[in-house]
Each structure stands twice: as C-alpha cells, then as structure tokens.
Structure 1
Amino acid sequence: MNVGDKAPELLGHDENGNEVRLSDFKGRKLVLYFYPKDLTSGCTTEACNLRDNYEGLRNGGYEVLGVSVDDEKKHQRFIAKHELPFHLIADTEKQLVEQFGVWGEKKMYGRTYMGTFRTTFIINEEGIIERVITPKEIKVKEHAQQILK
C-alpha cells in the first residue's frame, strides 16, 4: 500500500474478537500503526508514546489502531498492562501485514526470520492513504509527535 491507495474496508478483528472496518472511522483520520510484537521494549515504548499523547491525537482528528500478528489474548495483556486507550488488531493470519507490504525477511543478531516492519499509515477521512512513516523514519519515543507534524 502506498500514498494515494484506498485502504481495505475490512481491517481484521480486535483484541476482543470484534470486526474492525475502515468505515468505523469515517470522518476521522486513522493512524494504522504496524509493530512487531506485544510486550517488547520498542513496541511498548511506541504504544506508550501514543497512549500518552492520545488526547492530542484525538483532538487533532485522529483515531489510533495498532496491528501485530500477536493473538487476541496477548493483545489483551498488552492493553491491560500499559492501559492502552486504543484497540489492537490481531492479524494472526498475516493478511493485513501482507496486504500493506509490511511483512518480510528481517535480520537481527545474525539470524534471519520473517516479521513485521514497524510502519505507520495515515489514512484520511475518505479512506485514502495520505502518508506513510517508514521503519527508518519512526522514532518510538516521539511517534505521536511525528504523526502530528
């Protein structure tokens, strides 16, 4: 998915098993942020930055929705432990990460594996992707500020 593309209507299921659709956010901009894994240091820092700036994001006309390939139960623990005010999509079948092009080969400590590239898509009120913040651009400690720029 790139700037100018229409985002898919069906986004998946949240931590409670509820279906999440793009039309649920009609009239607001959507921050759809993909992250590698619940309860890890970088992902926790990013989620807590979005949590701490959630009111400012909402006042700016944004809704926030996180996506990882973790399951619903792990998302529930992540939300409860860090008091996250937004929903997380459990993309266990990897449909959304593949559709958005953020699933691929990664390397860490000399090991190669498949995983999610930390990427944020800003989707406008009409469901069109208006901005992409790439893995090299994202600063987890300042992510909300990056979105609001």
Structure 2
Amino acid sequence: MSRLKHYDGKEVIFSYLNHATKQYLRFTSGVEDFIKRLVQHIPDKGFRMIRYYGFLATRVRSKLLPKVYDLLDQPERKAIPIRFPALMKSSFGVDPLECILCKSRMVMTGIVTRKTMAELRQCHERLALNRPIILQ
C-alpha cells in the first residue's frame, strides 16, 4: 500500500498511522514541507541503523535470552514450525498438495523459480485444459 495518495506539483497528499487512535489519517502539505519531513528520516552518512540491541541483539540473543527468561521466572516458548501446506490450508482453505485433477495426494519434489510470466501462463493454460478425473 502506497502512503503517497496524490501529487499535483504543488501539494502532496499522504497517509500515516496515528498511533494514538490506531487509524490511518490523510495529510496534505506543500512539496517543500513534504520533502523536509521526508529528509528527517534519512540517516547520516556512515550511521548504522540498529534494529535490536541489548539482550535482543543478534550476536548475544542465544546466550542472554534464556537468562532473561530465568530472571522473570517465565518458561521459554519455542516457535512452532508451520509447514507450507498447513499454512496455505489455514490461510486460503486450499491444500497445495492435493491434485486438482484426481484429488490424490502429491509429493513436493522441488520448487521452480525464475520463470517469465509467459512461461508461467503457458504451464497454467496446459493444466487448465486438462479435465478432472472422476474416480468411481
């Protein structure tokens, strides 16, 4: 979603999240004012942006986080791994490993990447022309 909604050469209309009300609001400003506001968010040359620090820093998290849990008397919660088919089924209600033609279970053997849109469309059209197999 683009935050920039409109630009006509004189004014810029953009949206932002008001953290107090948790709502997106639209703001209209002149071009120069918009650029001043935007430039404030560009870090100085050589400045290193730090996303996590302290016990959440990447280099020390595995050593310090268990100690933090011990100090707070909290059990360590492990992330539950969710596999691709389960994620697709829970999100979209579609089992990606179920054959659309015969409804049998398929085995994922690999992932094909770097196909052009024309190549993907060609594969899709070939598959769409097949008829479902009705088992009795």
Fold conserved between structures, TM > 0.5: no
TM-score (norm 1): 0.20
Q: Which has the larger radius of gyration?
A: 2
More strand by share: 1
Task: Identify the structure with bigger relative contact order (alpha carbons < 8 Å, sequence gap 6+).
Answer: 1
TM-score (norm 2): 0.21
